[in-house]
Amino acid sequence: MVFRKLFFTFLVIVVTEYSCQAPLQDDDTLIAQVYDKKLYASDIDLLIPEDGSLEDSVLIKNSYLERWIKESVMMHEAEKNIPEDLEIDKLVSDYRASLIMHHYEKNLVEKSMDTAIAESQLTEYYEANKSQYLLESTIVRCRFIKLDKKIDRKSYQRFERIWEDLQSDPSELINEISHYNSEYLLNDSTWYRLEQIEEWVPSRSFNRHMMSYNSHFKFADENYFYFLRILESKKEREIAPLSFIKKQASQVILHQRKLELLSNIRDDLKERASSRNHIKIFN
């Protein structure tokens, strides 16, 4: 994120400077001038979408003009106060090199890195590093259904019988309520933060302390019935299940893979350059 912001700022400066120094067409109109910097109509016209309205065009022009004036005034003051020890050419050269390197490495990774992660790799990584993944809050596996109160009595009774059966197939519940306005979470392997559960049910009707003496809950408000069954819970500071941190673990594995790939490429390039006598070290 920081790199993107620096890159965008760098481009803004380059484009602004270029627009002030670019060769002009004979019919170009001078829009504004700040000290020795000039802004022409052609600089702003490039920003205006062809299918934009007149109001949008005026808004874009005015916004850009205001920003350009402020940046130009600021740049004028900055140029007057450049420290003697500030090596601008070196800073620009270093930043240019970092941009080129970043772009090249990005292309290498996109073309060469295998992004597929086998379940065995995830499991191996998790077993070696799971102590690093401690929960920040309570999580639960559960079944949850929000059912419209407009359901007819017979359908409701059938639904309730299926719901009470601990071995019931979630698909049976879905079939039973499919004709009514309802929402549900019935994937038994998915973990949710307890804060999410508290947001699903009517306000103040459920809290974590209730799980210490019950795992089945039923709530209601004016329009809906709410059914909640806690299948399993893990408390704060316990080790997070792999399925809960799978995305995070995958990102770490891919990052490690990226670093290894780039390290190997650097070694190979160095070996190739050395074998062709392109590397010389002078004492």
Band the pLDDT of 52: cuts 50, 70, 90: confident
Which of 109, 126, 23, 15 shows the shortest CA–CA distance to 64? 15
Q: Is 118 helix (H, G, I), strand (E, B) or coil?
A: coil
Band the pLDDT of 39: cuts 50, 70, 90: very high
Evaluate if residue 2 carries a pLDDT over 60: no
Evaluate if residue 13 carries a pLDDT over 80: no
- For residues 98 and 52, the model is more confident at 98
The span from the CA of 157 to the CA of 154, in Å, is 5
Model's pTM, two decimal places? 0.69
Band the pLDDT of 27: cuts 50, 70, 90: low
Average pLDDT for 180-186: 88
Q: SS3 letters for 7-76?
A: HHHHHHHHHHHHHHHCCCCCCCCEEEEECCEEEEHHHHHCCCCCCCCHHHHHHHHHHHHHHHHHHHHHHH
Band the pLDDT of 44: cuts 50, 70, 90: confident
pLDDT value of position 12: 41
Taking only the tens place, the pLDDT of each residue in 129-158 is 999 999 999 999 999 999 999 998 998 998
DSSP E strands in 157-244: the ranges are 182-185, 191-193, 216-220, 224-234
Q: What is the mean pLDDT of the chain?
A: 87
Q: How many CB atoms lie within 10 A of CB 227?
A: 22
Q: Where are the domains of the chain?
A: 2-83, 118-133+246-256, 135-234
Evaluate if residue 195 carries a pLDDT over 50: yes
Q: Is 134 helix (H, G, I), strand (E, B) or coil?
A: strand
Taking only the tens place, the pLDDT of each residue in 55-95 is 888 898 899 999 999 999 999 999 889 888 888 889 999 99
Percent share of the chain, pLDDT over 70 = 90
pLDDT value of position 213: 82
pLDDT value of position 49: 82
Taking only the tens place, the pLDDT of each residue in 96-141 is 999 999 999 999 999 999 999 999 999 999 999 999 999 999 999 9
Percent share of the chain, pLDDT over 90 = 58
Characterize 15-28 residue by residue with b for buried, 16 or more Cβ atoms within 10 angstroms of its Cβ, and e for exposed.
Answer: ebeebbeeeeeeee
Evaluate if residue 8 carries a pLDDT over 80: no
